[in-house]
Amino acid sequence: VRGSCVPREEGRGDGMGPLGRSGVVLLTYVLAALELTCLFMQFSIMPYLSRRLGLDSVAFGYQQTVFGVLQLLGGPVFGRFADQHGARAAFTLSFLASSALYLLLAAACIPALPGVALLFASRLPGALMHTLPAAQMVIADLSTPEERPAALGRLGLCFGVGLIFGSLLGGTLSSSCGIQCPVIVALVVTLLGALLSVTCIPASTKGASVHAQTTLPGKPKASVFDLKAITRLLLQPGVLPVFLVKVICGLPIGLFMVMFSIISMDFFRLEAAQAGYLMSFFGVLQMVIQGLVIGRLSSHFSEGALLRASVLVFSVVGLAMALMANVFHFCLLMPGLVFSLCALNVVTDSMLTKAVSTSDTGTMLGLCASVQPLTRTLGPTLGGLLYRSFGVPVFGHVQFAVNFIVLLVLWKQPVPRKMDRAQ
């Protein structure tokens, strides 16, 4: 069709269609920003919608846990689907799942319908809402190993945009137009994202890499739900140690962030608006550090050095968190905290995608994407137990101890400076 963005057989030799490689990368960043904006719009209204439907804090925690478990289970499966069916199918599936979630949420806002049942049902499509891993797969496929940390780091700009504008729009629209307004806007935006995915994203980005692998003739394609094929990636050389560093070092700060809403009220004594300003500051820091700083550092230092630096800063920040007494102290620690978090995520994602073949980057990133839902699943119970028993300083103590031990292991057995793709 004339004027369509769908890639054609003829045209550009890179297989990226009329948009070209740079155009596809730019569109990928835009789609990720749109999805994250809608996601944070949803997060901003969920407590108020739950309260309007008569749910207490325990029931609200249950639906949060259900969402985390579904994303935890769906991440690796979605990644394998993306590897087998391509970027276009992955983006489209994720945006359609998001549309289904927002449609169910919009229905839950209608008084004549069973709101609580629809609210819990809206968590189900969350298993397939993985636009960010899909974007990471495209960026990894279309970037050289040297460019990859900086290219993946720019997704931090998308996250910051989503955090700032999503939270702002969610609060503004719900206050001025009703609680269902942000949900309807998110529904329209995700449907637009699905349309852009179908028309402008190439069917596959795997062929863009010289390392792309092809399926052997006569060999049947493995199932999307093949758990052996998914866990096989973790047993490849150099993968499991880096993945364990990602999980172990990210768990303590993940527990703190899960409990942050309670800590901001009880320990920092912040009002809702003040807590929102603090999260906006966090989003701006992440935009600057992940979008600009990490890319520059990756061109001057090896990934192994950046990984050790992130763990070292995590340890120092953890020790300082154990001593902080007010929100001003926390604001002073936030740049170091955000640097460690961004460097850990970007560097480990880059190293892990280099350690596997191009045909498995989606599955690998799906496994990486399951780390955060794992924290959201364990966090409310484990974090709440630690907070009630020992108070806020325990999060700093745990973060310092865990990261210091990991740092000693990394210094004794350093990560290889360059992890070549498996052939």
Pair 175, 253 in one domain: no
Domain count, the chain: 2
Residue 413 has a CB neighbour count (10 Å cut-off) of 8
pLDDT < 50 positions in the chain: 1-4, 6-12, 208-220, 417-423
Q: Domain boundary at 176, 205, 234, which?
A: 205
pTM for the full predicted model = 0.73
Pair 73, 182 in one domain: yes
Pair 174, 70 in one domain: yes
Q: 158-193 in b/e burial notation, b at 16+ Cβ within 10 A? A: bbbbbbbbbbbbbbebbeeeebbbbbbbbbebbbeb
d(CA 122, CA 31) in angstroms, rounded, equals 22
Pair 232, 200 in one domain: no
CATH of the domain at 302: 1.20.1250.20
Pair 388, 348 in one domain: yes
The one-letter amino acid at 81: F
pLDDT value at position 89? Answer: 92
Q: Domain boundary at 148, 175, 205, which?
A: 205
Pair 102, 156 in one domain: yes
**How is 245-282 classified by DSSP, letter by letter?**
HHHHHHHHHHHHHHTHHHHHHHTS---HHHHHHHHHHH
Q: What is the pLDDT of residues 381-415, one digit of tens each?
A: 788 788 888 988 999 999 999 999 999 998 877 65
Pair 315, 278 in one domain: yes
Pair 188, 231 in one domain: no
Range of the domain at 262: 226-415
Q: What is the pLDDT of residues 76-88, one digit of tens each?
A: 888 888 888 888 9
pLDDT value at position 7? Answer: 43
pLDDT value at position 227? Answer: 66
Position 61 in a domain: yes
Position 3 in a domain: no
CB 177 within 8 A of CB 48: no
Pair 310, 245 in one domain: yes
The one-letter amino acid at 309: A
pLDDT value at position 210? Answer: 39
Pair 195, 232 in one domain: no
pLDDT value at position 315? Answer: 95
Pair 404, 366 in one domain: yes
Pair 200, 239 in one domain: no
pLDDT value at position 290? Answer: 80
